[in-house]
Amino acid sequence: MITPRSTAAGKVLEVLAAFDREHPSQTLSEIAQRTGMALSTTHRVIAELAGWGALERAENGSWHIGLRLWETASGCPRTQILRDAALPFMQDLYEATHENIQLAVREGTELVFVERIAGHRSVEVVTMVGARFPIGSTGMGRVLLAHAPREIQEEVLGSPLKAWTPHTVTDPKALRSQLDRIRREQVFVSDRQLSERSVAVAAPVRIGRGGPVSAALGIVVAARGASRARGLREPLLRAVRGISEELGRRARTTD
């Protein structure tokens, strides 16, 4: 049986996978330790990646993801079309609220943030573009989970759920009820589920008005301003309807 590490491509992928939100910059030794590969092998793989531009070396000798890899990833059709369609509406929503506006998609049982607009007065958030979180951990993730295939929902509900704050809903029965309510009401207010400093208001983005859910759009406000979260429902719904219609229009023109 061929294991990922036994192939040249597998070694490259292991080195790239060593970089994440908690480890954006690492030394050669740290990369070797995280991948479990020999130092000489790690050095050879890093040299190849650096030669292509996938990795770049800082002045202190550590390595980080290179610009060329970001350029390649930014061309992903799934997110490029979504971001192109969503950005004008996200900008309008930001101008109306001056709060963090975030766009995310589901990948398996994880949530991936693909776009964000924020101002210097917006509440600080723990998320960032490219970051992954368990799908049940955020308000946007729960919106996506509510519209995910049944097998994905059961996998998440059947696994232990992390309590990020004292307010995080982790009981499977309570979460199942929450997902039912999200499907009925469309807009979900996530009160300090991921951070005690913030409240999120999220809604699903579809491909066309009645098409499948493609993403989730959210507004994140400071917990101290939670009272205004309910008032964000209508501007959020206008934005997701606009994005959904634009995605539907683009889908029709490519058929």
Look-up of token digits 């506006």: 101
At 2 the pLDDT is 35
**Backbone phi and psi for residue 19, each to the nearest 5 degrees, phi listed first:** -95, 125
Helix crossing, 139-146 with 150-157: angle to 10°? 130
42 pLDDT band, cuts 50/70/90, is very high
Does the pLDDT value for residue 67 go beyond 60? yes
Residues 6+ apart with CB under 8 A from 25: 58, 62, 63, 64
At 128 the pLDDT is 76
Most confident of 132-136, 153-157, 158-162: 153-157
Domain 77-254 maps to which CATH number in 3.30.1960.10, 2.115.10.20, 3.30.450.40, 3.10.129.10? 3.30.450.40
Q: How far apart are CA 30 and CA 53, in angstroms?
A: 20
* Residue ranges, CATH 3.30.450.40, the chain: 77-254
Amino acid at the residue 215:
A
* Residue ranges, CATH 1.10.10.10, the chain: 4-72
| Average pLDDT over the chain, rounded to an integer | 85
At 1 the pLDDT is 31
Average pLDDT of the segment spanning 28-36: 91
Question: 29-33, 60-64, 68-72: which range is least confident on average?
Answer: 68-72
Over its C-alpha atoms, the chain yields an Rg (Å, rounded) of: 20
pTM for this model (two decimals): 0.72
- Sheet of 100-107, strands arranged across: 132-134, 110-117, 100-107, 213-222, 198-206, 188-191
At 75 the pLDDT is 61
Q: How far apart are CA 99 and CA 125, in angstroms?
A: 11
**Backbone phi and psi for residue 213, each to the nearest 5 degrees, phi listed first:** -75, 125
CATH fold of 4-72, please? Arc Repressor Mutant, subunit A (1.10.10)
Helix crossing, 172-185 with 150-157: angle to 10°? 150
